[in-house]
Amino acid sequence: MEKIIVTGGAGFIGSALVRHLVLDDGVEVIVVDKMTYAANRANIEPAEKTGRCRLVVADICDQARMTDLIKKEAPDQILHLAAESHVDRSISGPHDFIETNVIGTYSMLEAARTYWSSLQGDAKERFRFLHVSTDEVYGSLGAEGLFHETTPYDPSSPYSASKAASDHLAHAWHRTYGLPVVVSNCSNNYGPYHFPEKLIPLVILNALEGKPLPVYGAGSNVRDWLYVDDHARALSLIASQGRLGETYNVGGRNERTNLQVVEAICDALDVLRPTSRSRRELITFVKDRPGHDQRYAIDATKLETELGWRARETFETGLRKTVQWYLDHPDWWQPLRKSVYSGERLGLETNVKA
């Protein structure tokens, strides 16, 4: 049976990938996760119940431990998703982003190189290292155009700068050492099990509780939205069939302004959980995020033509599934709102920490 290590596998995108690999592809998965605030073991419970998924609580920055773990587990692939990922948190506390996203990626690449160098024959030919990144490394688009794999990097936030650095490390380890690396860059993900600091789950939960729905600036910033299960399928495909040393962009072709997203959530909730007043009345415009990129949009043509991937969910179908999941799973999100993150504004310049 194929064995895969997934770093950050108890987080949002990582757990969707783990569930896909175990439940759909039938492989064995070792989840490596530090279990920080955004990780949740409940996210991988369906995979663990099969007996083909195990959690190892560890820090990817511990290179010696990663080297020992990879040697012991002898995986066919390493899918590296562990990262600090929230732009607002990177503004108020950039240190953790540099530590995890840059140093942690270096640690994983070196540990993987040590293991791969020891392999021979088919095992060495079969091994792959997938580095999972973001479209935010490309910076901001104007009203027209799309991000391509050849778009120059122009990161705006500490988060995107840390991910850009990690992308460059991954490519360098392939070019310098021959490590069989593939890189992916994705647009904004949404779906079940999304920690409620990000726009869509935050708005869903605030709206359910009758709280203000904060929209940065005029709400005109545009994002390309990708349903997380579609992304998980893409990552499995890229890791197995992507050309070594290449980058593949993953996007849903679902551009929406932030205001349109918030309004769509309000409308969906008004249908699924009606109240006497429209939830659009809760929309509140707040001071914009520092360095807020205006528009992201991914061209996924390379992934679609080379590997045959297609997004299955439109924004409308994916959003309805997402809203319904949060309505059906208060047992998952209520403890987080009470004890981990209650929805307060993050990333204000007055909150900057060394």
DSSP line for 194-229 = --TTSHHHHHHHHHHTT--EEEETTS--EEEEEEHH
**Contact predicate 232/318, CB 8 Å:** no
Burial 172-181 (b: 16+ CB within 10 A, else e): ebbeeeebbb
Find the range with the poorest average confidence among 165-169, 298-302, 348-352: 348-352
Exactly one of 33, 135, 167, 313 is catalytic; which is it? Answer: 135
Question: The tokens of 118 are what?
Answer: 């020891």
Beta strands in 222-341 (DSSP E): 222-227, 247-250, 255-257, 283-286
Q: Which amino acid appears at position 38 of this protein?
A: A
β-bridge partners, 286: 216
Beta strands across the sheet bearing 255-257: 188-190, 222-227, 255-257
β-bridge partners, 188: 225
Is 3.40.50.720 the CATH number for 3-193+225-254+299-306?
A: yes
Question: The tokens of 166 are what?
Answer: 């990690």
**Contact predicate 32/58, CB 8 Å:** yes
Question: pTM, whole model, 2 decimals?
Answer: 0.95
User: With 90 as the cut, is the pLDDT of residue 349 above it?
Assistant: no
End-to-end alpha carbon distance in the chain? 46
C-alpha to C-alpha distances, 296 to 290, 313, 349, nearest whole angstrom: 16, 19, 23
Question: The tokens of 127 are what?
Answer: 């091994």
User: With 50 as the cut, is the pLDDT of residue 354 above it?
Assistant: no
**Contact predicate 105/131, CB 8 Å:** yes
Question: Over the chain, what is the mean pLDDT?
Answer: 96
CA distance 22 to 55: 13
Exactly one of 28, 84, 136, 293 is catalytic; which is it? Answer: 136
Exactly one of 159, 190, 216, 248 is catalytic; which is it? Answer: 159
β-bridge partners, 78: 5, 129
Domain ranges of the chain: 3-193+225-254+299-306
What pLDDT was estimated at residue 352? Answer: 47
What pLDDT was estimated at residue 291? Answer: 87
What pLDDT was estimated at residue 347? Answer: 66
Q: What is the pLDDT of residues 125-176, one digit of tens each?
A: 999 999 999 999 999 999 999 999 999 999 999 999 999 999 999 999 999 9
**Contact predicate 21/1, CB 8 Å:** no
β-bridge partners, 82: none
Let me know if 159 is a catalytic residue.
yes
Let me know if 248 is a catalytic residue.
no
Q: Which amino acid appears at position 208 of this protein?
A: L
Let me know if 110 is a catalytic residue.
no
Q: Cα–Cα–Cα angle for 16, 21, 26, nearest 5°?
A: 145
